[in-house]
Amino acid sequence: MAAAAATASRAWRLLRGSGAFHGRAAIQRLWDPPAQRRLFSNNKILVELDENTGVAVMKMKSPPVNSQTLEFLTEFSISLEKLENDRAYRGLILTSATPKIFSAGLDITEMCGKSEEHYAEFWRAVQEMWLKLYMSRLVTIAAINGSSPAGGCLMAVSCDYRIMAENPKYGIGLNETRLGIVAPFWFKDTMINTIGHRATEQALQMGLLYPAPQALSIGIVDQLVPEEKVQDVAAAAMTQWLAIPDHARLITKSAMRKPTVDRLLTHREADIQNFVSFISRDSIQKSLQVYLEMLKGKKG
């Protein structure tokens, strides 16, 4: 034991003499455990976990544009539920692993040329994604590092706070009417809760995509920052949100959002049937086919 003590003493003198430690804070760092970081991943979603801060970063990784397919939506909901069930985590930063795009929204191919059963399964997955994200117990911050139309916009406005890259080439909005389809009532309600009735009415009828500066002025996003700082600013904002006691914040969040959620829950099956009936119409299918051909032409 004496030999061990002498060895430890010599090691301490060597470290202290090397200049590696200065003062009490440095001594504390000697014994502090390293940051506990781990991750879990599936085909479309990567979640990075920081056990020291209790914050998870969820990165959408479905190139080229993070289209919300049935597989994507299912993996998103499973990943979020996994986080919800882990009480070590209090915050979630939602972002994209793909440069210049947050999410292009619902995948058109899931709504075109498929069976009614598929349409119903797909729409239930869209509902589930929104229900889990909109009422999450976690503090949710969207780090919008690219364009975010349609379902991508829905994801963003479902978060508690939104930080967007200040690039005027990036747009965000519910632009469904430009595809010949209609945003459902709970998309509308979420947008009204964010920017108000009149602005939502104009945005949805015209299918507007707001450039980043206009998105800030109308209130779809809360902050614009240089593109390279989106993640850092999101982490700093998360610190401010986590300073609020969870129970008080959650009760307030529920009071604000539960009526909107309850409306969908009450009419969930009818909403699915309405979607299936609408999307199955020949005129809508033709409109979607034209849009898909246009996209193929752009890629070519």
Q: Tens digit of pLDDT for each residue in 220-233?
A: 999 999 999 999 99
pLDDT band for position 20 (50/70/90)? very low
CATH number (domain holding residue 187): 3.90.226.10
Query: What are residue 289's phi and psi, to 5 degrees?
Result: -65, -40
234-246 per-position pLDDT tens digit: 999 999 999 999 9
The domain tally of the chain equals 1
- Answer yes or no: are the C-beta atoms of 224 and 164 closer than 8 Å: yes
* 220 inside domain: yes
Residues 177, 180: Cα–Cα separation, whole Å = 5
The answer, yes or no, to whether residue 19 has pLDDT greater than 70, is no
* Per-residue pLDDT tens over the stretch 132-158: 999 999 999 999 999 999 999 999 999
Residue-averaged pLDDT of the chain:
89
Instruction: Tell me if 207 is assigned to some domain.
Output: yes
24 part of a folded domain: no
Is 9's pLDDT higher than 70?
A: no
262-276 residue pLDDT tens: 999 999 999 999 999
Question: Encoding tokens for residue 112?
Answer: 């075109």
- Which residue segment(s) compose the domain that 196 sits in? 34-299
More reliable by pLDDT, 296 or 166? 166
* 83 within a domain of the structure (yes/no): yes
As a dihedral over the C-alpha atoms of residue 186, residue 188, residue 192, residue 197, rounded to 10 degrees, the angle is -140
Residue 26 covered by a domain = no
Catalytic residues: 106, 151, 175-176
- Residue 7 inside a domain? The answer is no
Say if 140 falls within a structural domain: yes
